[in-house]
Structure 1
C-alpha cells in the first residue's frame, strides 16, 4: 500500500475513533439556549395571557414580552461532541450541570421548584402592579412548604397562616426564620396559626379568619455547613386577596424571572392610554411585592431570543446589566431597571420618543 494512502487511511480511522469516543464519553455539563418569548399583552395558545375580570381594562398595543431560556433536563447525559459544539456556538452556553441542578436535584424536583417560583412571581407581579395604581391588597404570611422528615411535618401544612411565633406577631416571611433561629436546636417553639382550610373558607366568604391554634414544635439542627442553627423544616411565603380577578394563562413556563413583565402587562391593561406606544419591548427580572426588580440567570440567552423576535428595547435588571452589555445583539437597546416604577417611567420615555433619557447598561454596571 502506498505510503500516502496508508497515511490517509490511518488518519481517517483515527478521526472515526475520536468521533466515536466523543459520542460515548459523557461530560458533567448542561446547555442553555434562547427560549420562547411571549407578549404579556397578547394571546398565547389561543387565549389572552392576562385575563382581568371585575375591573375596567383598556386597549393596548405593542409588545411587553417576557423571555425564557431553554435548558437540558437534569437526567440528560451530554457527550463530549455536544459540549464542544455548544462551546463553539455563539447563541448557546455550556455550564456545569450542578449550576442548573445543584445538590443532585432530580428533574421532578427542579420542575416542582420552578413551578412554585413561577406561581409566587405571578402573585408578586399582581401586588406590585396594583400598588402602582394605589389599589390595596390584603396580604398575610403563610407556610409555603413543609419539608418531609422534619419536625414540622404533620404539624404545619402548606397554606396555614402564621400569625405569631412565640407570641411575637409575624409581619413578613423573613420574620419566621429570625424568630425560630433565636432558639437552640432541641428547644420548643410555638406557632400561632390559622389552619389552611379555615383560612380558605374565610377568604371564599369574604371574611377574616379569627380562630387560631397554637402548635408546639421541637426544633432540629440544620444540616447546612457552618454554624448550626435551629430549624423546624418549613419555608414561609405570602398569600394575598385581590379586589378583582387577575389570571395569568401561561403553561410550561417556570421560575421567577417573568415577574417584571407580568407586572407591567397588568399595569398597562388597567390604565388608559398606551404604555409602549406600539413599540416592541421585551425584558426580564424577578419582582417582589414592593416592586423591586431582581437579577435572573441566562441574561445573554434572553436578549438573543428577544432580538430574534423583533424586540427593540430590553428592560434589564440592574444587577444583570454588566453581563448583558458584554454581548448585546445588534439593534437591541438595553434599559437599566431597578424597580417597576423605573420601568413604567422608561416605557413612557420610549412611548414619547425621548429615548436619549433612558438609563443605559454598561459593562461596568
Structure 2
C-alpha cells in the first residue's frame, strides 16, 4: 500500500494516519508556536557561601544560607493553557517585561543591578560589623538605555568621554561641565568585553548633573568597591549568571557571617530574598511566591522575606503545606536578631 492510499483510504490504516497527523499538528501548535507571554516559575536555591569570597573566612557553621531564584522562560501555547490551573506558572507580557527592548537588554539590566546589589550587601555587612571602610568608585555603566535605542546600549561601561577617563559619576559630571552639554561627543565603552568607540548626540538643554539625560539614556549606575581598613576584612561576591537585586539580603547575611565569629545561621538552613541598601534596609521584591516554592524544595527551615512581601509568602507557604517558617524582616539587623531567636 502506497502513502497516497494511507492518507486517502477509508480503512483503519488511513484513519490512524490522519489521526496521527492531526495529533502531530496540534502538538506542534501547542509546543512550538510562540505566544506574547513570558512565564515565571519557581527557580532554584543556591548556597551563598561558595559565592562570597572572604580574605579571612569564618569557620563553616552547622547551617547554611541560600538565595532563591525565579525561572523565566518564553511561554508556548501549552504552558499558557497550563497556567489556568498550575499556580506555579505566572504569565507576563513580553512587552511589559522587556519595556520595549530586547531580552538581551533585560539580562544586561539585571546584571548591572546585581553588581550594584553586591556592593550594597558588603557595605551593609561592614556597617553592621563595625568594620571601617572607604568607598572607591571604579566604573559608570549604562543600566538602562531606554527604548529609544541610541548609540549607547544597556550594559555599556563608559571608560572615556571626550578623551578623558571616566571611573565615577563625578568625573562624568566634570567632563560634561567643561563644555556646553549639546552637540556631538565621542565616548569609549566596554561592550561585551571589548572596547568600542561611539559618537553620541548630547541632549540639548540638559545640565551637567543630569548625566543620563545628557547622554540620551534612561539610567546610569556608578559601580563601587568597598575598601576595608584591614585587608583581612576584604570580601568579594561572585554571583555568576544570577541577576537582579533580590539576593542582596542573603549576600549581606553571608558576608556578615564571614566577618564575625560564631554561626549566624543558628544551625538552620536559611533561605531568603530581598533587596538591601547600603544602610542595611531590606526592600520588597517580585516573584516571592515562586521563591517560597524554591526554598521549600531545597529543604529550608526558615525563609526570610521583606516585610512588604510577608503576607503573600505566608499564604503561599500555607498553600503548599510546607513546615518551613516564613519570617518578614525590615533590615539586616532585624534578620540577624530573628535568626538568633529562631536558633534558640
- TM-score past 0.5 threshold: yes
- Pairing of 1:38-187 with structure 2 (within 5 A): 38-41=46-49, 48-53=50-55, 55=56, 57-72=58-73, 76=74, 78-107=75-104, 109-139=105-135, 144-146=140-142, 149=151, 154-155=161-162, 159-160=167-168, 162=170
Q: Which residue of 2 aligns with 1:348?
A: 340
Shift in Å, 1:105: 2.0
Match among 293, 301, 307 for residue 296 of structure 2 = 307
Matched, 1:237 2:222: yes
Pair 236,143 (structure 1): closer, same or farther in 2 beyond 3 Å: farther
Partners of 1:309 and 1:302 in 2: CA distance: 10
Q: Which residue of 2 aligns with 1:208?
A: none
Partners of 2:173 and 2:328 in 1: CA distance: 40
- Cα RMSD (Å) of the superposition? 3.6
Query: For 1:88, what is the secondary structure of its paired residue?
Result: coil
Partners of 1:270 and 1:160 in 2: CA distance: 28
Partners of 1:254 and 1:314 in 2: CA distance: 20
Shift in Å, 1:26: 2.9
Shift in Å, 1:132: 0.2
Pair 84,166 (structure 1): closer, same or farther in 2 beyond 3 Å: same
Query: For 1:162, what is the secondary structure of its paired residue?
Result: helix
Q: Which residue of 2 aligns with 1:209?
A: none
Partners of 1:331 and 1:62 in 2: CA distance: 17
The answer to which structure has the higher helix fraction is 2
The answer as to whether partners of 1:37 and 1:67 remain within 8 angstroms in 2 is yes
Partners of 1:238 and 1:268 in 2: CA distance: 24
Q: Return 5+ residue gaps in structure 1 as ranges.
A: 42-47, 168-175, 181-185, 190-195, 197-216, 223-228, 353-365
The answer as to whether partners of 1:314 and 1:332 remain within 8 angstroms in 2 is yes
Partners of 2:36 and 2:165 in 1: CA distance: 37
Shift in Å, 1:265: 0.6
Query: For 2:235, what is the secondary structure of its paired residue?
Result: strand
Pair 57,325 (structure 1): closer, same or farther in 2 beyond 3 Å: closer
The answer as to whether partners of 1:122 and 1:262 remain within 8 angstroms in 2 is yes
Q: Which residue of 2 aligns with 1:45?
A: none
Query: For 2:35, what is the secondary structure of its paired residue?
Result: coil
Shift in Å, 1:31: 1.3
Shift in Å, 1:110: 2.2
Partners of 1:318 and 1:221 in 2: CA distance: 42
Matched, 1:26 2:43: no
Match among 326, 331, 339 for residue 334 of structure 1 = 326
Shift in Å, 1:308: 0.7
The answer as to whether partners of 2:115 and 2:223 remain within 8 angstroms in 1 is no
Deviations 1:54-111 (A, max 9, x none): x463442202111111111xxx4x332221124432323222223432213233x222
Aligned residues: 284
Match among 231, 237, 242 for residue 248 of structure 1 = 237
Q: Which residue of 2 aligns with 1:281?
A: 270
Query: For 2:119, what is the secondary structure of its paired residue?
Result: helix
Deviations 1:312-334 (A, max 9, x none): 21110122223223322421221
Shift in Å, 1:306: 0.5
Deviations 1:108-128 (A, max 9, x none): x22222221111111111100
Query: For 1:237, what is the secondary structure of its paired residue?
Result: strand
TM-score normalized with structure 2 length: 0.70
Q: Return 5+ residue gaps in structure 2 as ranges.
A: 1-11, 153-157, 183-188, 190-200, 207-211
Partners of 1:282 and 1:101 in 2: CA distance: 28
TM-score normalized with structure 1 length: 0.67
Shift in Å, 1:272: 1.5
Partners of 2:126 and 2:312 in 1: CA distance: 31
